[in-house]
């Protein structure tokens, strides 16, 4: 697996809690994943990112790790995990573990030790500050709302938590912390995994002055002092040298609020840091003034500009992007960018075409291949996610009405993509024989089963698209060029290579759109409609129609 070239990877993300339950407790687990490997293999994927399954109190569904070397019993046993790695590798599928190096759970024994006294050797594993009575060490805001500082009366000190208050940040300045984390990574590397997805990896290095931020915009909330921080590249090179390189591991960094320049430094192979990075600027086009918890719209010219700037910037800098439209932290992409009602299937295929047409490594998020929809929860009690629940409380505090706050959650909550996978048409869609941990409020009629039976389904389309991507070198390597940046209705770009040019084009509206193409002899490589109307270089596109055209040189 480790010999696979980056440009040949087709990755799939599993949120294990919601993928497949095997023992009837309503929570997805490792044997459940193993039982679906043939399905994933038939789909054509070769790398499986599984979000954290380590021992955890589950305050952030596994991103709060209490023991780096144990599998949480809710997901199964270490043997189950080893079986998964072994069975997957027989099918040519590598397992990518999700590693959280920025923080632990407050239940982790390191933190429990750290709490006992200022002189305990583990105290310095975390980040502590004092402040005069009634004051906080600084004004940084937690990503989950509120201050990043939590007071511990016994020590008369505050600890830093960029995320939930049960998720204290590790002190990467301490070499012992680094050494222990590298050991934990080696523990998994030795089990034959293919690589790591590295959680919020560009937040590891904090500016040691811990200065106040300006709050000039919602983005000036402290992140200026820990995003791509002073020692981050040194730390990543150490991770690479100590773990990634010796075990030939693929790595993808979650790069929160980063820049193109830094992304190139992280992912240019010559730098020996990471293989590729997830970046999020295209996920923020619908954040009004940078604010997540507010209703927003995706303006197409802005979206195109963001995508194009990153495509061109990373190509020039020799960097590598991991491509995605959604993940376990994002709402589903359908309603967000296109349509999840009348044109649900066309929209799903159009988004797939746009993603697989880009330069980078495509990732599919579970359920995307059957065009799953958002949760559409109508009551706060339905929500499970800590971030969403905090946001709801803060919105109400700010004087927003319950109805408006629910509408914002409906659009932005991470629970939208965390509903159980829809396998068939039995109760709970074949996910579990028990009530699922996160219960849908609507029942859909489509599933993997119905999609498998229908040649025109989203699922069968993904299979075709994956085959195309694996065999077409222009899709893998061609140079990116955006067309008509100001066009509000159509997203079109080129991939240019020596022998062929590809045109990737999608109608973002429910109306027919006609566009003239540059002269040439085109043929359709893939399309989400069966009959494309295309005469004299005039392309007539149906609602949400998308296609890839090839023009040989």
Q: Catalogue the active-site residues.
A: 199, 254
63 binds, among ligand GLC, Ca ion, none (CB under 5 to 8 A by kind): ligand GLC
**At closest approach, how far in Å is the CB of 177 from ligand GLC?**
17
The token pair at 297 is 């719209």
Q: How far is CA 416 from the centre of its chain?
A: 13
- Which residue in 30, 45, 200, 361 binds ligand GLC (CB under 6 A)? 200
Site string for ligand GLC, 119-158 (x = CB under 6 A): ----------------------------------------
| Stretch in the footprint of Ca ion (CB under 5 A) among 26-34, 267-275, 465-473, 526-534 | 26-34
Task: For residue 23, count other CB atoms closer than 10 A to its CB.
Answer: 14
Find the helix or strand (DSSP H, E) in which 348 lies: helix 344-356
254 binds, among Ca ion, ligand GLC, none (CB under 5 to 8 A by kind): ligand GLC
29 binds, among Ca ion, ligand GLC, none (CB under 5 to 8 A by kind): Ca ion
Angle, alpha carbons 439-441-443 (nearest 5°): 100
- Rounded Cα gap, residues 507 and 250, in angstroms: 35
Residue from 112, 137, 135 nearest 125 by CA? 112
Q: How far is CA 291 from the centre of its chain?
A: 19
**319 CB contacts (<8 Å, ≥6 apart)?**
260, 263, 264, 265, 266, 267, 268, 277, 313
* Identity of the residue, 365 or 461, whose beta carbon is nearer to ligand GLC in the bound complex: 365
27 binds, among ligand GLC, Ca ion, none (CB under 5 to 8 A by kind): Ca ion
Q: How far is CA 145 from the centre of its chain?
A: 20
* Identity of the residue, 366 or 550, whose beta carbon is nearer to ligand GLC in the bound complex: 366
Question: If binding is defined by CB under 5 A, does position 80 make contact with Ca ion?
Answer: no
Q: Helix crossing, 175-189 with 232-239: angle to 10°?
A: 40
Distances (CA, A) of 193 to 22, 32, 178, 224: 22, 18, 21, 34
Longest CA pairwise span in the chain (Å): 79
| Stretch in the footprint of Ca ion (CB under 5 A) among 21-29, 173-181, 218-226, 244-252 | 21-29
21 binds, among ligand GLC, Ca ion, none (CB under 5 to 8 A by kind): Ca ion
- Which residue in 6, 25, 296, 464 binds Ca ion (CB under 5 A)? 25
Question: If binding is defined by CB under 6 A, does position 60 make contact with ligand GLC?
Answer: yes
3-state class of 334 per DSSP? helix
Site string for ligand GLC, 155-194 (x = CB under 6 A): --------x-------------------------------
Question: If binding is defined by CB under 6 A, does position 355 make contact with ligand GLC?
Answer: no
Question: If binding is defined by CB under 5 A, does position 23 make contact with Ca ion?
Answer: yes
- Write down the residue that tokens 């996978």 correspond to: 421
Distances (CA, A) of 415 to 377, 435, 517: 9, 17, 41
23 binds, among Ca ion, ligand GLC, none (CB under 5 to 8 A by kind): Ca ion
Question: If binding is defined by CB under 5 A, does position 35 make contact with Ca ion?
Answer: no
Q: What is the sign, positive or negative, of the torsion defined by CA atoms of 484, 485, 488, 490?
A: positive
25 binds, among ligand GLC, Ca ion, none (CB under 5 to 8 A by kind): Ca ion
- Rounded Cα gap, residues 60 and 168, in angstroms: 12
* Identity of the residue, 28 or 543, whose beta carbon is nearer to ligand GLC in the bound complex: 28
Question: If binding is defined by CB under 6 A, does position 415 make contact with ligand GLC?
Answer: no
Instruction: Pick out residues in 211-270 that bind ligand GLC (CB under 6 A).
Output: 254
**At closest approach, how far in Å is the CB of 57 from ligand GLC?**
13
Distances (CA, A) of 151 to 118, 134, 136, 147, 165: 14, 11, 9, 11, 10
* Identity of the residue, 238 or 283, whose beta carbon is nearer to ligand GLC in the bound complex: 283
3-state class of 539 per DSSP? strand
* Identity of the residue, 386 or 502, whose beta carbon is nearer to ligand GLC in the bound complex: 386
329 binds, among Ca ion, ligand GLC, none (CB under 5 to 8 A by kind): ligand GLC
**316 CB contacts (<8 Å, ≥6 apart)?**
none
Question: If binding is defined by CB under 6 A, does position 437 make contact with ligand GLC?
Answer: no
Question: If binding is defined by CB under 6 A, does position 111 make contact with ligand GLC?
Answer: no
Question: If binding is defined by CB under 6 A, does position 329 make contact with ligand GLC?
Answer: yes
Total of residues contacting Ca ion (CB under 5 A): 5
**At closest approach, how far in Å is the CB of 102 from ligand GLC?**
7
**547 CB contacts (<8 Å, ≥6 apart)?**
353, 504, 505, 506, 524, 525, 526, 527, 528, 529, 532
Q: State the residues that interact with ligand GLC by CB under 6 A.
A: 60, 63, 100, 163, 199-200, 254, 328-329
Q: State the residues that interact with Ca ion by CB under 5 A.
A: 21, 23, 25, 27, 29
């Amino acid at each position: 697996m480790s010999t696979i070239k980056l440009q040949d990877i087709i990755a799939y993300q599993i949120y294990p809690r919601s993928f497949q339950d095997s023992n009837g407790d309503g929570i997805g687990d490792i044997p459940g994943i193993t039982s679906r490997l043939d399905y994933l293999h038939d789909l054509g994927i070769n790398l499986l990112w599984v979000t954290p399954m380590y021992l955890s109190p589950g305050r952030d569904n596994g991103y709060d790790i209490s023991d780096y070397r144990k599998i949480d019993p809710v997901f199964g046993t270490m043997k189950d995990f080893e079986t998964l790695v072994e069975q997957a590798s027989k099918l040519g599928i590598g397992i990518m573990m999700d590693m959280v190096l920025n923080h632990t759970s407050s239940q982790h024994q390191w933190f429990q030790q750290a709490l006992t006294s200022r002189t305990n050797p583990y105290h310095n594993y975390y980040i502590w500050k004092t402040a005069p009575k009634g004051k906080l060490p600084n004004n940084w805001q937690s990503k989950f709302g509120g201050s990043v500082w939590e007071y511990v009366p016994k020590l008369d000190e505050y600890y830093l938590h960029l995320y939930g208050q049960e998720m204290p940040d590790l002190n990467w300045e301490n070499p012992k912390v680094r050494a222990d984390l590298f050991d934990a990574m080696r523990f998994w590397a030795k089990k034959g995994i293919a690589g790591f997805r590295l959680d919020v990896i560009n937040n590891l290095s904090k500016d040691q002055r811990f200065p106040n931020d300006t709050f000039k915009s919602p983005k000036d909330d402290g992140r200026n002092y820990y995003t791509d921080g002073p020692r981050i590249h040194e730390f990543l090179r150490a991770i690479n040298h100590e773990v990634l390189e010796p075990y030939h591991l693929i790595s993808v960094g979650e790069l929160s609020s980063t820049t193109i320049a830094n992304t190139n430094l992280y992912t240019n192979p010559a730098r020996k840091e990471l293989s590729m990075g997830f970046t999020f600027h295209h996920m923020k086009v619908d954040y009004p003034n940078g604010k997540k918890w507010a209703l927003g719209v995706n303006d197409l010219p802005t979206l195109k500009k963001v995508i194009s700037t990153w495509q061109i910037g990373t190509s020039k800098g020799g960097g590598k992007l991991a491509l995605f439209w959604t993940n376990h932290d994002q709402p589903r992409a359908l309603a967000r960018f296109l349509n999840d009602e009348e044109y649900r299937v066309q929209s799903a295929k159009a988004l797939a075409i746009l993603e697989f047409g880009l330069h980078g490594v495509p990732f599919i998020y579970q359920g995307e291949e059957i065009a799953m929809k958002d949760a559409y929860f109508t009551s706060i009690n339905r929500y499970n996610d800590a971030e969403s629940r905090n946001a709801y409380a803060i919105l109400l505090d700010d004087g927003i009405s319950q109805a408006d706050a629910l509408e914002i959650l409906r659009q932005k909550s991470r629970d939208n993509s965390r509903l159980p996978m829809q396998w068939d048409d039995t109760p709970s869609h074949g996910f579990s024989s028990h009530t699922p941990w996160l219960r849908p409020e609507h029942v859909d009629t489509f599933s993997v089963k119905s999609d498998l039976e229908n040649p025109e389904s989203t699922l069968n389309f993904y299979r075709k698209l994956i085959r195309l991507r694996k065999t077409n070198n222009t899709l893998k390597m061609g140079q990116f060029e955006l067309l008509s940046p100001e066009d509000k209705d159509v997203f079109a770009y080129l991939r240019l290579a020596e022998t062929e040019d590809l045109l990737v084009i999608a109608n973002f509206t429910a109306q027919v759109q006609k566009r003239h193409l540059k002269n040439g002899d085109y043929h359709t490589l893939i399309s989400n409609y069966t009959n494309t109307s295309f005469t004299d270089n005039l392309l007539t596109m149906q609602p949400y129609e998308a296609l890839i055209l090839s023009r040989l040189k």
